[in-house]
Structure formats: C-alpha cells, structure tokens
Structure 1
C-alpha cells in the first residue's frame, strides 16, 4: 500500500489527507445526526406531561435543552410561551436556525472534498503525462521503464482521487437528506407543542406513543 502511494507521486499526499478528513467527518456526522441526539421520540409528550404536572422547573428545562437539538428548540419556545403564540413561534424559529446550522456542520467541507479530489487526481494525470512526454523528448521511446513509471503515476492518482471522491459525494448527499428529514421532524414536533400549549390542539400522546 505504501509503495502504491509513493508511486503516485507527491499529489497522493493531499488526496490521502482528503481521505482522512472525509472519514473523520463521516464518522462524526453519523454520531451527531442520530435521532436520539437530534429529535428523540416522545420528547414532546414527555414535556407536555411535565407541563400538566407543573414540574417544568429550571433544572428540568436545562436537562431537556442539553439532551438534544429538539430539546433546545422546545425549551426556547417554552421560555417564551407566556408572551403569546406568535412570540413563542418566533423564538422557536430563531433557535431552530441555529440548530440547523449545527446539523449542517462539516457538510460543506465534505462536499468540497468530493469535488476537489477528482481534480487532484486529474492534476496527477496531467503531471504524469508531462513526465512521459518529457522523457520521450529526451530519450525517445526506447526506455519503456521510464514511460511506464509516468503512466503509472498518472493512473494511480486518478484512481485514488475517484476512490476518495465517490464515497465522499455519496455520504454528502446522504447527510444533506438526513438533515432535511430531521428538520422536518423537529418542525412538526415544535408546531405540535405550540398548538397544545396554546389550546389550539388536543393530542392523545399515549396513543401517539403506541
């Protein structure tokens, strides 16, 4: 493996760094975008039960806020619920914008890696072919080993760039879709809380949990 990297030339170094960065981002996003960390099931139902029992004190609110992204949004709304429906919705929207920004963290770098690594591979191809033609001009076509080395460098960097870019692109699309799904889910849960708090909706949470 090390010999393969060496034979690809100096452009293998940025491609290798891109692969490490992409792997780190993918692992981090898989961990951070789990439902239990973003939008736990039945959180709204649990919060509503606390509201009904008048047990929603500062400690409970802090615990809910720290527990998940959805918890941050719900607590922001609850803290402003006494000011009316519209103020509650505005506070939820403001917090949701910050939460969505956090959910999209590192996705731009991942997309950049997916776009840049094929170009690095293409650059390696160009550099390798330049070496081939330079050797042809100097030595002619008689030295097959030199020509093969340049062609090998060109092919290795191209393959390496694509090997990194394709999974990075797939995972970038997956995480973008995942964030969209989680945002819609949190929006529905937040709206549900606003409506039950202000008496615009009656929800059978026990049935919903079942």
Structure 2
C-alpha cells in the first residue's frame, strides 16, 4: 500500500511539473508592442498627434461656443433703446463666435437686411473654418494608421517566410510565434485609427452644436432688427 501511494504521489508531482512547464508564458503589453518593430514608431507618432490635435481643438471649440445666456437679451435691449454703442462694446468685449457675428451685424445696421445677413454669414463661415481647422488631421490618422499597421504586418510576414525558406525550419511553434508578433502592428494600427475616428466625430459634433448656436443668434438678431424701436 505504501509503495502504491509513493507511485501515485510521484505521478501527481510529475503531472503538476508538466502542467507548469506547459502553461503559457505571460507577456506585458509594452513587451508585446516592442515586438512590432520599427513600424511601431510612426504609429506612436500618429497617436500622439491625434491626442494633441484633439485637446487643442477641444479647447478652441469650447472657447468659441461659450456664451452668456443673457447675451442676446442685453443686445436686444440696447438695440431697442437705440443704444448701439453699448451693444457694440459688449459684442467686442465678448470673445466667442456668436459675439463676433453679432458685432458684424451691428456694424451693418442701417443697410438692407440681406446685406446684413450676408455679412454675418461671411463671418460665420470664417468662424466655422477656425473651429474645423486641423480636424482633417484626425480623419487622416483614422485612415492611414490601419494602413501603416497592415504594412508592418506584410513586411513582417515577408521576413518570416524568408527566414523559414532560408533555414528550412517549418515547426508550427516557430511559424505561429512569428505570425502573432507580426500581427501586433495591424492591431495597433486599427486601435489608433479607431481612436482617431471617435475623436474626430466627437469634435465634429461639438462644432455642429456651436454652428447651431451661431445660426440661432443670427436669426434672433435679424428678428430684433425688424422689430419697431422704442
């Protein structure tokens, strides 16, 4: 009985040792990324560019869209009392897109309505250009980052099969190990492209919201001009 127990214990120990040896090795994310090769550096640059452009544009767009809820009411009261100088001073001292559009409209008071609307529309287009500036960088990153990653994978696969052909080593572990390493660039490129795409759409939504504020303020200003003065 004791001999049988010793044999069973030895088998269990051997099985446990084999299980430990066969357990997959853990690898850190940074180590995995480093296996992507030189193509990872352009991808890192694209990621940094996307993050920089996002925060720079986010700050600019929020600054352009920030407006006091009482701004148009005060402008209306000044226009209705024929106090245009006070209205212009308020518009000039307010740093946002709506105020600059209203200031242009105030400068054109006395001219036909269509002339005022055209002048305000031109300023609105300039403000839209300012807000949308550099957003094309995010759309560009969203398009080329996956292509860079795929290029890295293709180059890596060519190198892998060249090595296999040169050495004649067709072991499955060697082939699988080489393939998963080369796929790192494709995965990274897709992730960076997805991040840039999401950031671009978020900023575009913020620009659209600001554009709606500009259009509403312009329409309200034209309505004010068509009301009789006190």
Q: What band does the TM-score fall into relative to the shorter chain?
A: 0.7 to 0.9
Which segment is superposed worse, 36-45 or 134-143? 36-45
Q: Could you tell me the TM-score, scaled by structure 1's length?
A: 0.83
Question: What is the aligned counterpart of 2:104 among 64, 76, 81?
Answer: 76
Distance in 2 between the 1:69 and 1:145 partners?
61
- 1:152 deviates by 3.8
Question: What is the aligned counterpart of 2:207 among 170, 179, 186?
Answer: 179
Q: 1:39–1:186: 8 Å Cα contact kept in structure 2?
A: no
Per-residue displacement from partner, 1:41-89 (whole Å, max 9, x unpaired)?
A: 332222223334525266434213xx10111111111111221211110
* Residue number in structure 1 paired with 2:17: none
Distance in 2 between the 1:180 and 1:57 partners?
27
* Residue number in structure 1 paired with 2:219: 191
* Structure 1 spans left out of the alignment, 5+ residues: 201-210
Distance in 2 between the 1:57 and 1:194 partners?
15
- 1:166 deviates by 0.8
* Residue number in structure 2 paired with 1:56: 86
Say if 2:164 is the partner of 1:136: yes
Say if 2:68 is the partner of 1:37: no
**SS in structure 1 opposite 2:59?**
helix
- Please report the RMSD computed on the Cα atoms of aligned residues, expressed in angstroms: 2.4
**SS in structure 2 opposite 1:83?**
coil
Say if 2:137 is the partner of 1:88: no
Question: What is the aligned counterpart of 2:185 among 157, 173, 187?
Answer: 157
Q: Could you tell me the TM-score, scaled by structure 2's length?
A: 0.77
* Residue number in structure 2 paired with 1:169: 197
Per-residue displacement from partner, 1:160-208 (whole Å, max 9, x unpaired)?
A: 11121112111212222222222122111111111102328xxxxxxxx
Q: 2:91–2:100: 8 Å Cα contact kept in structure 1?
A: no
Structure with bigger gyration radius: 2
Distance in 2 between the 1:119 and 1:187 partners?
39
